[in-house]
Structures are given as C-alpha cells and as structure tokens.
Structure 1
C-alpha cells in the first residue's frame, strides 16, 4: 500500500498517533539505542507506510518529550532516558507497555513510597483531613468487585485525595505529574483484576490508620500497599515474558 493510499483511508490524527507510538516502541525496545541516528524520514515512511510529513510531525512530538533530538548534518538522535519527560502520560504508558524491567519497577516503587508515605503521615497528623472520603473510595472499590462501578476511578480518587489532603505546596505542585504516574500505574494494563480483591484490605487499613490519627501506622500500611503493587507489576512482567 502506498503512503498516499494509506492517508486517504486513515484519519491524519490516527496516522500521527500510530506513527508516534511505533517510533516510541522502537526506542523502548532498544531497536535504536542511545546515541543512534534514526533512519531518514523517507525510510521510516516506507516502513510504516506513511508520508514524510507524518513522520516529521511524529518526530517533533517525540522531540518535545525529550526522547529525540534533531541535529543539523547528523540527523535524528536517540537521547538517554535521563532526558525523557518521565511523567508525560504517553511516555509512562509506553514504558509500562514496552519497557517494564525490574530497574524501572524498583525506581518507580521507591519514588511512590517516598511520596505516599510522607503524604499519609501528614494526613494522619491533620485533624481536619476528611478520612471518610477514603472509606467511601474503599466502598466504591468493593462495589466494583461485584460489578457495580469503576475500580480504577475509585482507586485513583483514593490516592489523589491523600496527596491533596497534605495541603503541602510542593506535593500539590507535583500533583499533575503524579496524576499521570497513577493513571499509568493503576491502569487495567498493569493491575490484574484478580489482584484487586487482595489489595482492597490494604486500602482499608490505610484509611483506618489515617482516621485514627496514627502517622506511624499510616506509613506502615502504605508501604505494604506499595510493595504489593511492586509484586503485582513484576508478576505481570514475568507472565508477559513467559
């Protein structure tokens, strides 16, 4: 199929989105390692059956995410992960989809533990924090297990309420980035349905500890949930690679 025929058949936005993901996948799986020069726009277009214009726009998108750099007389260079916009929702989704190794999971777990254990300690020490919202989220998760409601929406609301409940200006400033992080980490693609019922008591234990005004127990219960999440993701990786 020629590029022009493909463009006639598929919407431009779909072509652009698919091209961005295809090139991103190449970077995630190491087809083009750090420092490598990507093929020309013509070569990429021929492989993906899209026009050079679509390739150029896809590359621009990945440049904006810190994954690529266009250099005069050299071409398009693959940049190291340290330059990537790691909290970008698409970058996170691609890493969960194509590049979930143990190092990534461990770094993610440590980051999550650092932020959320501090957050629950703050919330537990604030008499004005409304822990009833957390209990309501747990009830919504329980209902979702019975086919009534959305588990993921309730789970996200649980974690977001804790972060917002800190009223800490630095944590609040990170909220948009953390939202992207949780959207990816708690997505159906990562969290297996059979593990949801297991994690519900962990959420209830956190809500109970915060409601009791116990920062130490709140921290302990959050660490239990975080490490359970790590186990679930590593198990998912092993299953997908089997």
Structure 2
C-alpha cells in the first residue's frame, strides 16, 4: 500500500481488478458477476486462473458462488475490512471522511493498549529499536512518502513489542490509516512539524522505557489524535 507495488501474476491482476470493481460499486452489492467465459475474455486468463481468483475474493468476503445463480457480490458487512487488499482498494477508488474516521477510531481502540502492553513486555532491544525509529522520523529531508514509511515502521515495532500475536495481525489496518492520513496531509510538507512528529513518538518510547503503561497509552493516543486532526483539517471536516 505504501510503496504502490503493482501485482504481476495473472491471478493477482484478476483479483486486483475485480476487487476494485466491487469496492467501487461497478459490481454493486447483490449483483451477479458476469459469467466465466465473459471474465476469461475480459482478463485474457484461463478458467483455472479465474477460479482461483474467485476463491481469493470469496475468502475476503466479497463474493459468494451460488449454484445455478452465479457469483454474487456480498453485503459490505461481510467484507473483511482488516484485509490489506480490501483496504488498498478502498483508497484506490476513493474514500470519504467517514471511512477515515472509522479507521482512526479502530486505531484508538487497539494501539494505545498495544503501547501499554509494550511498556509491560518490551525488552531493552525493543526499546532501543523503537527509539531509533522515532529519531529517524525527525530527518528534515523526509518526503511525505518516506515519512509515512518511517511512521509505519515505528507503529509496527510497538505492536511487535506488545508481545500480543493478535496485535501483530492488524498491520494492514495501521498501514491503511497512515497512508490515508499522509496522502491527505503530511507533516513533511511543513519542515517545522517533522521535529514535532519525532518528539511525540519519542515520548511514547520514553513512557515504555519507564514501564508507565498509562503514560504509554496516553502518548500513543495523542499521536493518533494529532494525525486525525490533521486529516480532518485537510478534509475541511470538523473533529468528531
């Protein structure tokens, strides 16, 4: 999502194209997808490749095959929004402020507690690594893209240091949220703000080093809320 790497295999290209078409509404919820022959011709792939792509989309909750009816697009409530591909497709076709707010709400539900767990479980090597990543965020030569990647590495390191395997599985969600925030408004556009971003992340590490779970929780919450405020300002929407 961050580096914009393109899919190269026939299977991944079909999954990507159909996934975007479904998320964009080209194939609406409840609609039946075109038949195999039409889709094979559309993408220039074999039936085997098409069926494997359909299995992938079904596993993500986007579609369900029905005997004698065809393949139907599932309601959005069935989609796995924690899936990295689905999140990427949402950003590719365009998201509204409501979608981004929901993302930041989920981050507020997970990441502050992950920081508190890191304060409890992180070893010295974890803490040193997080501090290095926080310091790296202060590089004045950052572009919006490189700062977003630096930010992502830091937040994933905190999730890892939490020692909770469930926390580690939501990396795609964090990546999507950060990609959305930085796409709309990056601190790298204002060199004076880069140091503030690094300092706020260093504060998280300092609280973790002190084993202050409440302090780590508050510091992480502050970082997410600041990013959310920047995003809402770029959208011209009032902070919820």
TM-score calculated relative to the size of structure 2: 0.75
The aligned residue for residue 159 of structure 2 is 163
The aligned residue for residue 209 of structure 1 is 207
Q: Is the 8 A contact 2:187 2:197 kept in 1?
A: yes
Match of 1:195 among 174, 187, 191: 187
- CA 1:24/1:13 → structure 2, altered by over 3 Å: closer, same or farther? same
Match of 1:173 among 166, 170, 195: 166
Deviation at 1:66, TM superposition (A): 1.6
Deviation at 1:128, TM superposition (A): 5.0
Query: Paired residues, what number?
Result: 221
Deviation at 1:77, TM superposition (A): 0.5
The aligned residue for residue 122 of structure 1 is 117
Q: CA RMSD in A?
A: 3.3
Q: Is the 8 A contact 1:34 1:78 kept in 2?
A: yes
State the distance in 2 between where 1:232 and 1:147 align: 18
Q: Is the 8 A contact 2:138 2:197 kept in 1?
A: no
Structure 2's unaligned 5+ residue stretches are 1-6, 189-193
State the distance in 2 between where 1:102 and 1:28 align: 16
State the distance in 2 between where 1:133 and 1:13 align: 34
The aligned residue for residue 131 of structure 2 is 135
- Which region of structure 1 is more displaced relative to structure 2, 106-115 or 203-212? 203-212
Residues 170-194 of structure 1, C-alpha deviation per residue, up to 9 Å, x if partnerless? x32341x22222333334x752484
Structure 1's unaligned 5+ residue stretches are 1-11
Q: Is the 8 A contact 1:100 1:237 kept in 2?
A: no
The answer to whether 1:58 aligns with 2:53 is yes
State the distance in 1 between where 2:34 and 2:62 align: 15
The aligned residue for residue 227 of structure 1 is 225
Q: Is the 8 A contact 2:200 2:223 kept in 1?
A: yes
The answer to whether 1:44 aligns with 2:39 is yes
State the distance in 1 between where 2:54 and 2:235 align: 29
The answer to whether 1:183 aligns with 2:181 is no
- CA 1:234/1:22 → structure 2, altered by over 3 Å: closer, same or farther? farther
Deviation at 1:37, TM superposition (A): 0.9
Q: Is the 8 A contact 2:207 2:215 kept in 1?
A: yes
Deviation at 1:202, TM superposition (A): 2.3
The answer to whether 1:25 aligns with 2:20 is yes
The aligned residue for residue 82 of structure 1 is 77
SS of the residue aligned with 1:191?
helix
Deviation at 1:166, TM superposition (A): 2.6
Residues 182-239 of structure 1, C-alpha deviation per residue, up to 9 Å, x if partnerless? 333334x75248424253332122223333443333222211211233345556778x
Q: Is the 8 A contact 1:20 1:61 kept in 2?
A: yes
Q: Is the 8 A contact 1:96 1:190 kept in 2?
A: no
